[in-house]
Amino acid sequence: MVVRTHRRGRLVFNRDAIVRAALRAYVESIVAKLPNGPRHPVCPYSDWTGDVQRGAFNEDDLEGNNEVIAWNEAGVVGLAYELGFGPIEQLGLSVDAVTGGPDDVRGAVPGLPAELEPALVIAVGMLGVGPEHGQRDAGVGFWLHGDRVAGSLFDAPTAAGADRLVPWGQLQNGQLPLWWSPDFAAYREERVRTTDAPIHAIIDAVVDRRMQGPTEFTTDELATLLAKPPDPERQLSVQRGLQKVGITWPGSPELPPEPPRPEPRINPFTGKPMPKPTRPDK
């Protein structure tokens, strides 16, 4: 655990807690697709690659802003992008120096330990690509290694996109806080505590099991989740999303392969290509 002071307050960084919070946010976003799922997931438009040893989590707001948290056994790398404030505008990257790879955003994580280079590569694989120059887009970042944490999140605490990374140092009961609206956050927390409490208890239980290894829902958990049966296509989509992180239905049923989507996918809100995740072992 590492504690740092930031303009947004006291931040506490812990590798395992960050990975669990990322897993929980992703699982919550998938379960929320069920008719009986929790309302208002903290990261509704999230994606995942890899596993809890080496992987990455991407949260996209569908308005051109996102953050990626990646990890390996050595620690964590976080990168964030706010529309219009990428490495060219905010990190001093020249157009001639664009590579379309990790060097585009290295200015966000100065002093990155060599042991975290694989995590940086994973993170960059989930970043968007600038349509003008092909740069990987992130304008601020941090890294966590052992008892050290650093990056432009601290060197330039007012940088555009920093507010998207601060919550990873403000985890609450193992969860990401909903940072963008205090009023709505209070409403969501009340719903988590009351109406959606049984579903959130299941999410916490299955996430804790998954942190120890691949797991299945119990039959009782599944009965609660499917109290309002989804249509078969929606259920299959949820099963695929959870299988991606090693969480399956009782009996681990074989799922039909997902049809390939056309590439590149275009974000309908920004007109930009959406990032295609990079496998951690590549």
Write out pLDDT tens, residues 100-119.
Answer: 999 999 999 999 999 999 99
- Quote the pTM value: 0.89
- Look up tokens 């990401």; give the residue: 176
Residue 158 pLDDT greater than 50, yes or no: yes
Nearest in space to 11 (alpha carbons), one of 26, 20, 1: 1
Q: Report CA 258 to chain centroid distance, whole Å.
A: 22
- Look up tokens 């992130």; give the residue: 138
| pLDDT for res 182 | 77
| pLDDT for res 11 | 95
**pLDDT bucket at 9, cuts 50 / 70 / 90:** confident
| pLDDT for res 140 | 98
| pLDDT for res 266 | 64
Q: Cite the beta strand spans of the chain per DSSP E.
A: 2-6, 9-13, 46-50, 55-60, 66-72, 75-81, 140-145, 148-150, 215-216, 247-248
| pLDDT for res 53 | 97
Q: Average pLDDT, stretch 203-229?
A: 96
| pLDDT for res 275 | 59
Question: In this predicted structure, which of 92-101, 223-232, 270-279 has the lowest mean pLDDT?
Answer: 270-279
What Rg do the C-alpha atoms of the chain give, in angstroms? 19
Write out pLDDT tens, residues 162-180.
Answer: 999 999 999 988 899 987 7
Q: Where are the alpha helices (DSSP H) in the chain?
A: 15-31, 87-90, 117-125, 152-155, 162-165, 182-193, 197-210, 219-225, 232-243
46 φ, ψ (degrees, to nearest 5): -115, 160
Higher pLDDT, 265 or 93: 93
| pLDDT for res 279 | 46
| pLDDT for res 184 | 80
Write out pLDDT tens, residues 40-92.
Answer: 999 999 999 999 999 999 999 989 999 999 999 999 999 999 999 999 999 99
| pLDDT for res 257 | 77
Q: Average pLDDT, stretch 206-210?
A: 98
Residue 281 pLDDT greater than 50, yes or no: no
Region label for 262, one of left (φ > 0), alpha (ψ between -120 and 50) or beta (otherwise): beta
| Domain range annotation of the chain | 1-274
Residue 269 pLDDT greater than 60, yes or no: no
| pLDDT for res 5 | 85
| pLDDT for res 205 | 97
Residue 268 pLDDT greater than 60, yes or no: no
Q: Residue 257 in 3-state DSSP?
A: coil
| pLDDT for res 270 | 58
- When the pLDDT of each residue in the chain is averaged and rounded to a whole number, the result is 91
